[in-house]
Structure 1
Amino acid sequence: MELRPDRLERQLAGEPLRPVYLVAGAEPLLVQEAADAIRARAREEGYTEREVYDVDARFDWNTLTQGIASLSLFATRRLFDLRLPTGKPGKDGSEALREFCEMSPPDTVLLITAQDWSKSHAGKWSEAIARAGHLVPVYPLKTHELGEWLLRRLRSRGLVATPDAVRRLADRVEGNLLAAAQEVDKLALLVGGGARGPSAEAIDVEQMERLVADSSRFDVFKLVDAALAGEPVRAVRMLAALRGEGEQVAGLMPMVAREVLSLCGLARAAESGNVMSAMRDARIWESKQAIYRRALERHPASRWESFAAECGRIDRAAKGRGDGDPWLLLERLLVAIAEARGRKLLAS
């Protein structure tokens, strides 16, 4: 069965452990917490022996198969913890995992964790896991989902906060769930008994300002995503945060230029009506296709070509081979991408 991460704990509490679990996705905190919940449940059920396997290009899948088949000298129940960073076991691994699912030995649980997941990772091996156990895909939270996640996190620590305070917390930790989790835990310690329980007084925005450090950690991927999503204020704020953290425009431009050039090709494809096919060919992640479509609707192909030319100008300025303040030029480019009146902004 396929489960969302927020349903996993209820499922674990309501049934005996399944023989196999796959927890996979690019959000490390959510993957770690889901896997920890499975490990904790295994300990409760007497799975006291745990063997860890780290899969790399040289991993011999017979090692896992033989380990599972061997008799334990120390415990009757064993948990096999398989770390599969890429989420792709290859031919030998797929076969080994399918065989385990079809003939899983008693008193054995196989937990597989991966740091990446999409439909391209799925195959007969993951289908076998979903039939015999649970597949828990973990996707990065979208911007509009962060507030609800923070609310649940606060409630789990016995805290109440006003909507404005939750929004301020989201602003401070945007996109960084590890920082968010740390800030919520810190709030639980600092607030103490003053705002706990359903009848407690809610933390307001002023308290949130005082208690929460500015833990925003923006990267260039989220910077470009904000511009493509049509969020100029957010993009400018991210750029300022990157500058404050000591980043250089020359280091940011390769990714910005790559995304803009990709949009150039997609914009030309859109004019002939083949944009979805072009996205598949370009291997654009499904989670990003919506913001790509919005960006393509905002600007014609000719404007994307002018954005690409501007990337070259900014790169030259950043390397001292052109005129202008590279930070200001990059800010204008990002706002231009985010706004339908982009050409006028670049001309100013």
Structure 2
Amino acid sequence: MRVRSEQLAGHLSKQLLPVYLVCGEELLITQECCDDIRQNCRAQGISEREVFNVDRSFDWGQLLDAGQSMSLFGERKLIELRLGDSKMDQKSSAILQEYLQHADGSNILLVSCGKLDSRSMNSKWVKALDNAGAVIQVWPVDRQHLNNWIMQRMRKIGLSADGDAVQLLADRVEGNLLAADQEISKLKILAGDQAITADVVANAVASSARYDVFKLIDTALAGNAGNALQMLNSLLAEGGEDIAMLGAVTREIRSLYQCAQQLEQGGGIDRVLDNARVWDKRKALYKSTLRRLKSVQLGKLLLLASRVDAAQKGQSKENSTVLFANLVSLLAGQKLSEVV
């Protein structure tokens, strides 16, 4: 079956199918669709997860083994197959179809990849996934629908905005959803519960504030741990919303992680960054960071970010401020203390 990305939450509230394919070039939405499926799995008690990142050397037999093997405690598990930009050949297509033929629904398979052309969408492996579960094909948000997308995004995090404010923000981000999401997060931090008007957006854009979380991120990516930590301490001291700030940092790390995976699969750096919709003025920061941090290290940073999140929400006894400082320091390439 086919499910639109905006329908996925409603679909998951009613059922969890054994197989999902999430494909598309809009990185933010594909990430969030996958996150929704993972969260629904956890809500249904599926806590174990196996992740396979497909590259030219990937052993497809691992997928069959994962489907046949029981989890550590004999429970259901989520199997993630991340294709990235890898192309499916006849052999990999046959193995994936074999997995589906033997799957009994005990485990959940989540396949994710970039944009698929019409030929790929009509291939045997995609049709097999479609028949066994659901295909979520993510489309870019065009200009005429961008304002509505921004408005819904703001409401989701408790912001209210007038039409002029939304129009100004849409003009600023020029269709880049990752940039729009960052700007909305910035407005949440700067404006709090204040109603968002065009003046608020303009002031946020032209803000001459000494530090903001996005300057902090760029400073960390530049490898300047000392200044990044000073910015973090100042933001926290000024009463910055630590959960929203962590969200911005985590999204940046997740984007870097996916770029690193594609590079390790043989992708060219410029194409990878273009696919991730990294702004031209930030590409140098990304390139230097990706030379310094590989996917394994960035994966560990995502795990550390989840610990910061748990500590911020009172779900662990760890010190969220210390963990956050270590996260920023490690992103900048400097180890602050033994936390990972």
Whether contact under 8 Å (1:83, 1:112) holds in the other structure is yes
Instruction: For 2:201, give the aligned amino acid.
Output: M
Q: Offset at 1:39? A: 0.4
Distance in 2 between residues matched to 1:103 and 1:213, nearest whole Å? 58
Describe how 1:175-190 pairs up with structure 2 within 5 A.
175-190=175-190
Please give the TM-score of this superposition, normalised by the length of structure 2.
0.58
Instruction: For 2:46, give the aligned amino acid.
Output: Y
Instruction: For 1:33, give the aligned amino acid.
Output: E
Instruction: For 1:170, give the aligned amino acid.
Output: A
Distance in 1 between residues matched to 2:69 and 2:89, nearest whole Å? 24
Query: Given the alignment of the two structures, is residue 164 of structure 1 paired with residue 164 of structure 2, yes or no?
Result: yes
Distance in 2 between residues matched to 1:75 and 1:29, nearest whole Å? 34
Instruction: For 1:114, give the aligned amino acid.
Output: C
Runs of 4+ residues over 4 Å off in structure 1: none
| Equivalent in the alignment of 1:207 | 200
- Does the C-alpha gap of structure 1 residues 59 and 13 become closer, same or farther in structure 2, counting only changes over 3 Å? same
Distance in 2 between residues matched to 1:45 and 1:207, nearest whole Å? 41
| Equivalent in the alignment of 1:155 | 155
Instruction: For 1:76, give the aligned amino acid.
Output: E
| Equivalent in the alignment of 1:121 | 120
Distance in 2 between residues matched to 1:130 and 1:96, nearest whole Å? 16
- Does the C-alpha gap of structure 1 residues 213 and 121 become closer, same or farther in structure 2, counting only changes over 3 Å? farther
| Equivalent in the alignment of 2:39 | 40
Residue 158 of structure 1: SS of its match in structure 2? coil
Distance in 2 between residues matched to 1:163 and 1:127, nearest whole Å? 42
Q: Offset at 1:107? A: 2.0
Residue 84 of structure 2: SS of its match in structure 1? coil
**Contiguous gaps of at least 5 residues in structure 2:** 208-213, 215-269, 272-278, 284-340
Residue 193 of structure 1: SS of its match in structure 2? coil
Distance in 2 between residues matched to 1:246 and 1:188, nearest whole Å? 23
Whether contact under 8 Å (1:187, 1:212) holds in the other structure is no
Distance in 2 between residues matched to 1:127 and 1:191, nearest whole Å? 47
Distance in 1 between residues matched to 2:87 and 2:20, nearest whole Å? 15
Please give the TM-score of this superposition, normalised by the length of structure 1.
0.57
Distance in 2 between residues matched to 1:190 and 1:27, nearest whole Å? 27
Whether contact under 8 Å (1:87, 1:116) holds in the other structure is no
Describe how 1:18-33 pairs up with structure 2 within 5 A.
18-33=17-32
**Identity rate of aligned residues, in percent?**
39
Whether contact under 8 Å (2:2, 2:135) holds in the other structure is yes
Residue 89 of structure 1: SS of its match in structure 2? coil
| Equivalent in the alignment of 2:317 | none
Whether contact under 8 Å (1:87, 1:117) holds in the other structure is no
Q: Offset at 1:106? A: 3.5
| Equivalent in the alignment of 1:131 | 131
Distance in 2 between residues matched to 1:166 and 1:73, nearest whole Å? 49
Q: Offset at 1:82? A: 0.7
Q: Offset at 1:46? A: 1.1
Whether contact under 8 Å (1:2, 1:130) holds in the other structure is yes
Q: Offset at 1:213? A: 5.9
Instruction: For 1:192, give the aligned amino acid.
Output: G
Distance in 2 between residues matched to 1:246 and 1:73, nearest whole Å? 43
Q: Offset at 1:194? A: 2.8
Q: Offset at 1:75? A: 4.4
Residue 33 of structure 1: SS of its match in structure 2? helix
RMSD over aligned CA atoms reads 2.4
- Does the C-alpha gap of structure 1 residues 246 and 19 become closer, same or farther in structure 2, counting only changes over 3 Å? closer
Instruction: For 1:141, give the aligned amino acid.
Output: V
Describe how 1:1-348 pairs up with structure 2 within 5 A.
1-15=1-15, 17-86=16-85, 88-122=87-121, 123-195=123-195, 203-212=196-205, 245=281
Query: Which of the pair has more CA radius of gyration?
Result: 1
Residue 3 of structure 2: SS of its match in structure 1? coil
Distance in 1 between residues matched to 2:57 and 2:10, nearest whole Å? 37
Whether contact under 8 Å (2:55, 2:86) holds in the other structure is no
Distance in 1 between residues matched to 2:187 and 2:68, nearest whole Å? 47
Whether contact under 8 Å (2:3, 2:134) holds in the other structure is yes
